[in-house]
A and B are shown apart, each in its own frame.
Chain A
Amino acid sequence: MSGPRSRLIGSPEPRRKNRELLRGEGTYVADIRLEGQLHARVVRSPAAHGRLLGVDTSEALGIPGVVAALTAADIDDIRIPIRLPFAESPEANRVLQAPLATDVVRYVGEPVAVVVADDPYAAEDAAEHVLVDIDELEPVLDLAASSESSQPLVHEHFGSNTVNRLAYRYGDAAAVFEQADVVVHRRLRVHRLAAAPMETRGLVADFDPASGVLTVWGGAKVKHFTRGLLSTVLGLEPTDVRVIEVEVGGGFGTRGEPYPEDILVALLAQRLQRPVQWIEDRWEHMVATNHAREQEHDIEMAADRDGRLLGFRVRGWCDHGAYVRTQGLLPAVLPMFHLPGPYQWQAFSMDLDAVLTNRTPVGTYRGPGMTEATFIRERMVDLVAAELQMDPVQLRRRNLIAEESMPFTFMPGPGSGAVMPIMYQGGDFPAAFDELLDAAGYDQLRDWRREARSGGRHAGVGVSAYIEFAAVGPFEDVDIVGDDQGVVIKAAVGSLGQGIETALAQIAAELLDVPLDDVAVEFHDTAELPQGFGAFASRSTVLAGNAIAAAVDEMRAKAAHLLGCAPGEVEFRGGVATGGDRGSVRLAEIGPTRGRFEKEGLTASFGGAVCSVSVDPADGRVRVHRFALAHDVGRAVNPRLLRGQLAGAAAQGIGGALFEELAFDGNGQPLSVTLADYMMPTAAELPDVEVAIIEHGSGSNPLGIKGGGEAGMVGSFGAVANGVADAVGEGAEVLSSSVSPARIWHALNDPSEPAGTGKPAQEA
């Protein structure tokens, strides 16, 4: 190749869309107003568990402006399926959710009916007049006790509150524990959280009887799955369902999965033959949209006197709430894959139960499973370090898997279930760990700690290291279409506010050597797009980016054929492909070209976080002063956007540790249903986050990209909890991922109280 090529991959390009969003011109789903549009309101169970004796909509139908009402009796007996084959099991498929509850309600907020009116105020009036007759039953609320015979059953027909037990054995754990010098045993808890994007969920559905086409606006994340599901439920051809993504006010994993409301709104539009809009309110959001993270782990960790980590054994309970939703068993599968982390264990043994309780179902939230697992493991590593009287950084450093051991696999041994092996493709973990410590200014933080302590303050430094698995397949298709204006990239991944359109444009512009502004990226309308799987598991840039590379290769082949030269002779520049002395052809003339990137397994990335904290023992307040993180992204397509993603995820994680919690009372009534109670952090409580982007490449895809959208979250709980533990020292044990003021005060002053144990707080 000759001449300078534009270097766009790796360039901190400004994000597309900003101008429009800053002018308030973005169209979010609530902004859609169609002619004749109706408004749906879902009637929800007020009880955590009970027999549903009757749902009477007759009074509601008499409210002025009310057009229709549906109960379970009005719709087919369907269940919302799991969308990921590797997260399914025959058992999980027996506890899926119906769009409307039939004979039993299983959590507060479960849909039991839906009413439609010509105005959202009238719809809410009508919903209040739907009479729901429930004979309340005792709820299941405690994870570890859920399998005891004294407990009621969430699903009577299923016969157990344990969906599945996942087992993974590596090496001979019993033997390792026998030879260990030090064994630390604790029970740790991860508190329940909500992703809580600033925009609640919402949908508009419109059915055109003339063409037979149903159009749905608002479903981002997994558009094609949603399309398939709706076509099945509504008896339409997949091509007669269009799912159109509009602007999305934050996704974080919970938004955009198919939920009961997606089916209800589509059904209503089809039956009423009028556009129907449903906008979730914040109270609904806190009870209806997937919850996340709640787990309990009984774990022991073994080491020898010299500071070699030998093994761990864990028995864990991972809450799935009242039903298994579209993400299947991921709330148990993902912690299992992430518990071993970056250390060279000789053996481990994991038994994780996927548990049912009478609370809102649990799904994935940014850094799912890995954030929880990292907290569990890293807290334990610090406790082992304390037992060994060793610096926790030295202990980690000594046990990180060395570069020469790569690729590295913890092959599942006898006694394991049907699990994929835990495999790390590459990376220099010790070097990356050192980069983290440098970025954080670890030595200066230790000096700060010493000084603060000599001034009488409770100051601490916390560290965590982790592995993130991301970029799941199976494949993604991309179409490249040349036109007079430049090129259009059509990809079926989604934008959740992460800037995917900018990153994909950069990749295409560099590979085709066209000006960045000449590349348009389309991902909004399933009618215009190739098949795809969506935006989750930090996969969008990896999968779609490499599919662009494949499409460019295909274009090269087509151009070579047209020009009569070898593909290697084709050069792209400015919308034209030139084949040496064989002339040139415009991209528009090559025609639409599809590329596919297929990917097996997951891509592992190393990362870590360091923070400095202080604790005021008088009121329990924790302040995070500095927070630094490092993450191996393989290769940064746009470091500016990546920094925003990583720092934003860290902020979310710090807030989750410091303030946020979804609490329930002893009857299963949710207590965090307002944003005054579900306390998300503001600028006043958050430190500035320093980000070190590590680029250790990756053998698993041509562009060398790894995931980056979620990773800032992964180390946050572990680092904050370890920092707090370091600050309070002997004063208290930190056994919960929540370090709220009340928890820390209780841990320091009154450990007998429930706060500080990680158990859901009980209302007085």
Chain B
Amino acid sequence: MTGSGSPHPWLGPDEAAPVALTVNGTALEVRVPPRRTLADALRDAGCTSVRLGCEHGVCGTCTILLDGSAVRSCLMLAVQGQGHHIETVESLAGGDGLGPLQQAFDDNDALQCGFCTPGFLMLIESLMRSEPGAGEERVREVVSSNLCRCTGGGPVVAAAQQALASNRDGR
């Protein structure tokens, strides 16, 4: 099944292999079989802020940053993460406080049950880095990438705008 005799490095269906990731600036090696998703591998490694809401790429609760851009970690195999930089919500604030974006969520009541929150935070974090000048329409469009069943997402748009604005003022 693994192409016996092949000169190529096939990984067998349930053969675990080491995958070297950088998670929030720290090297992390996970041992995974090829079919394990990146989301599951991160959760197994203790990054439980990466949450699974649908496992088919629609809800966005598993959104992380991959090399600085927001991606759905349920739509990647862990083996695809080899050599890449991953950021999760744990990277947003040091100590036991809140970063400015998290504070904007708090100020705007942009969370209720909190399940979708880490995914939204990473989604908006990537927008703040790539498009610091994003206007209301663009913010709304990007926020619509993820689902929030408690607030509907309107307060998330407000929080994102506040964070973008204070980012601009602060620079």
Residues of chain A touching chain B, judged by Cβ–Cβ distance below 8 Å, are 14-15, 17-28, 30-31, 64, 120-121, 196-200, 247-252, 279, 281-282, 496-499, 640, 643-645, 647-648, 650-652, 654-655, 674-676, 680-689
Contact = CB atoms under 8 A, between A and B. Distances in A.
Contacts of B114: 17-18, 20-22, 26, 247, 249, 497
Contacts of A121: 33, 35-36
Given A683-B153, A683-B154, A497 B112 contact: yes
Nearest to A26: B114
A396 B145 CA distance: 40
A198 B56 contact: no
Q: Is the interface of B mostly helix, strand, loop or mixed?
A: loop
9 contacts: A18-B105, A21-B111, A22-B98, A30-B48, A250-B150, A497-B150, A644-B112, A644-B150, A648-B152
Contact of B51 (A15, A20, A249, A682): A249
Interface stretch (B1-9, B115-123, B162-170): B115-123
- Of listed A27, A648, A655, residue having the most chain B CB within 10 A: A648
B98 to A, nearest CB: 6
Given A23-B49, A247-B115, A498-B112, 19 more contacts: A14-B106, A20-B114, A23-B92, A24-B89, A26-B115, A30-B51, A198-B53, A198-B113, A198-B150, A249-B53, A249-B115, A497-B113, A497-B115, A647-B152, A674-B58, A675-B53, A675-B147, A686-B152, A688-B154
B58 to A, nearest CB: 4
Contacts of A681: 152-153
What are the 7 closest A-B residue pairs judged by CB atoms, nearest first?
A651-B152, A24-B49, A497-B113, A249-B115, A21-B114, A683-B153, A684-B144
B38 interface: no
Contact of B154 (A20, A497, A645, A651): A651
A25 B58 CA distance: 23
Contacts of B153: 651, 681-683, 686
Contact of B52 (A30, A644, A648): A30
Contacts of A689: 152, 154
B67 interface: no
A621 to B, nearest CB: 15
Contacts of B73: none
B58 A647 contact: no
B144 A22 contact: no
B143 A281 contact: no
A499 B48 contact: no
A18 B115 contact: no
Contact of B140 (A27, A199, A684): A684
A723 B160 CA distance: 31
Nearest to A15: B109
- Of listed B54, B58, B59, B90, residue having the most chain A CB within 10 A: B54
Contacts of A686: 152-154
A252 B36 CA distance: 31
Contacts of A683: 140, 143-144, 148, 152-154, 156-157
B102 A23 contact: yes
B84 to A, nearest CB: 20
A524 to B, nearest CB: 15
Contact of A249 (B58, B113, B140, B145): B113
Contacts of B155: 644
Contacts of B89: 22-24
A146 B55 CA distance: 36
A684 B141 contact: yes
A252 B140 CA distance: 25
B151 A676 contact: no
Interface string B56-95: 1011010000000000000000000000000011101100
A262 to B, nearest CB: 20
Contact of A281 (B55, B93, B105): B55
B129 interface: no
Contacts of B55: 281-282
B35 to A, nearest CB: 7
